[in-house]
């Protein structure tokens, strides 16, 4: 067999501190987009295919722990250690609304219909904000066993899921009653939870294990134990035959979904991998690391071993000549150079997190 040509990843610089969350938009008429959250307090928006920088959202005064785009990629949301969650206009970069909290906000997620924003954090309270009435008090669900680490919607916005940074398990809540309807038991706290595009599976990472759950009947479908602690995992969205996982060993691993066999290993980050996500079409995936970079990797054909161990260099993608109207509007903005915040200001807020 001929040796596979190693394809270097697209390396996206820009963040001055660790990248702790990544989220892709669905595919829109203008393409798809990638938003990143970082401890440097400034979420960034990029072209999801090329990794080209589009804009920076400025306004938070502490580490940003979570970020997401709505299904049209017209609005963004972020959750921060400055005790707030913010709603942004993804075309202009303007803050549309700031939702004040009483403690660090760790996670946020748009509902499928984009009318609601779900948040959670150190207050141990899940909040649901009506984006059509942003000044109205949120609905609160306050029986979380500990600080909220991850949140997501499923079942056409009828169910929400959350994990805690203090206890194992994934809790599923009925939105109408505000009650827990199911607990998916895990030995360690769930650090990553993802609902598959087709709504069939929930992918979780806890300790050194990646688990796949039936999103409708809540049974455990598969569980794979990895040789190191895992912080994030993501299931390939188109065929569901592969998944990626990354954590403290600084590598991005590719596994066969059915057998758990490792079929690829991407080396290049210089710090633990905190977040991983497949692109909406499944042709590539992005990783964010303690080293402050985002790397976008191309997915090789199934059955072909991937090894990007020598792909440590930076690759800069050319901007598309036929840039979309959305991207043009954002690029035309006079986005100021990312302000270098005093480490004492950011760390002063982060001291309360203690790397939760």
Q: Pick the residue with more confidence: 184 or 300?
A: 184
Whether 252 has a pLDDT exceeding 80, the answer reads yes
Whether 52 has a pLDDT exceeding 70, the answer reads yes
| pLDDT tier, 7 (very low <50, low <70, confident <90, very high otherwise) | low
Question: Using H for helix, E for strand and C for coil, what is the string for the chain?
Answer: CCCCCCCCCEEECCCCCCEEEEEECCCECCECEEEEEECCCCCEEEECCCCCEEEECCCCCCCEEEEEECCCCCEEEEEECCCEEEEEECCCCCEEEEEECCCCEEEEEECCCCCEEEEEECCCCEEEEECCCCCCCCEEECCCCCCEEEEEEECCCCEEEEEECCCCCEEEEECCCCCEEEEECCCCCEEEEEECCCCCEEEEEECCEEEEEECCCCCEEEEEECCCCEEEEEECCCCCCEEEEEECCCCEEEEECCCCCEEEEECCCCCCEEEEEECCCCCEEEEEECCCCEEEEECCCCCCCEECCCCCCCCCCCCCCCCCHHHHHHHCCCCCCCCCCCHHHHHHHHCCCCCC
Tell me the average pLDDT across 246-260.
Answer: 96
The predicted model scores a pTM of 0.84
CATH number (2.130.10.10, 3.30.465.10, 2.60.40.10, 3.20.20.140) of 196-298 reads 2.130.10.10
d(CA 80, CA 108): 10
Q: Over the stretch 281-327, which tens digit does the pLDDT of each residue have? A: 999 999 999 999 999 999 876 544 444 543 333 333 333 333 344 44
Q: Over the stretch 186-219, which tens digit does the pLDDT of each residue have? A: 999 999 999 999 999 999 999 999 999 999 999 9
Beta-bridge partners for 97: 87
For residues 203 and 214, is the Cβ–Cβ distance under 8 A?
no
Residue with tokens 């909406």: 280
């Amino acid at each position: 067999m001929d040796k596979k040509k190693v394809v270097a990843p697209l390396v996206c610089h820009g963040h001055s501190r660790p990248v702790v969350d990544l989220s892709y938009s669905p595919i829109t008429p203008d393409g798809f987009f990638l938003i990143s959250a970082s401890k440097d307090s400034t979420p960034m928006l990029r072209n999801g295919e090329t990794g080209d920088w589009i804009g920076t959202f400025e306004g938070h005064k502490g580490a940003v722990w979570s970020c997401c785009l709505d299904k049209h990629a017209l609005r963004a949301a972020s959750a921060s250690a400055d005790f707030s969650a913010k709603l942004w206009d993804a075309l202009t970069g303007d803050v549309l609304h700031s939702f004040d909290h009483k403690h660090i906000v760790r996670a946020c997620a748009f509902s499928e219909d984009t009318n609601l924003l779900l948040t959670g954090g150190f207050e141990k309270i899940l909040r649901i904000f009506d984006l059509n009435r942003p000044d109205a008090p949120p609905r609160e669900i306050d029986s979380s066993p500990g600080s909220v680490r991850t949140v997501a919607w499923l079942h056409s916005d009828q169910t929400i899921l959350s994990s805690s940074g203090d206890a194992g398990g994934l809790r599923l809540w009925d939105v109408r009653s505000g009650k827990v309807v199911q607990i998916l038991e895990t030995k360690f706290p769930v650090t990553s939870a993802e609902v598959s595009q087709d709504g069939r599976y929930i992918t979780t990472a806890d300790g050194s294990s990646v688990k796949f759950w039936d999103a409708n009947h809540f049974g455990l479908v598969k569980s794979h134990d990895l040789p190191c602690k895992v912080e994030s995992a993501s299931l390939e969205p188109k065929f569901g035959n592969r998944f990626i996982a990354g954590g403290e060993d600084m590598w991005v691993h590719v596994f066969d979904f059915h057998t758990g066999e490792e079929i690829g290993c991407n080396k290049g980050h210089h710090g633990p991998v905190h977040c991983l996500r497949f692109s909406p079409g499944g042709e590539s995936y992005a990783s964010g690391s303690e080293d402050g970079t985002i790397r976008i990797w191309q997915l090789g054909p199934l059955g072909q071993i991937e090894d990007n161990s020598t792909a440590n260099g930076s690759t800069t993608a050319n901007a598309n000549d036929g840039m979309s109207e959305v991207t043009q509007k954002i690029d035309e903005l006079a986005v100021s150079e990312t302000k270098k915040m005093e480490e004492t200001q950011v760390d002063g807020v982060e001291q309360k997190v203690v790397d939760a």
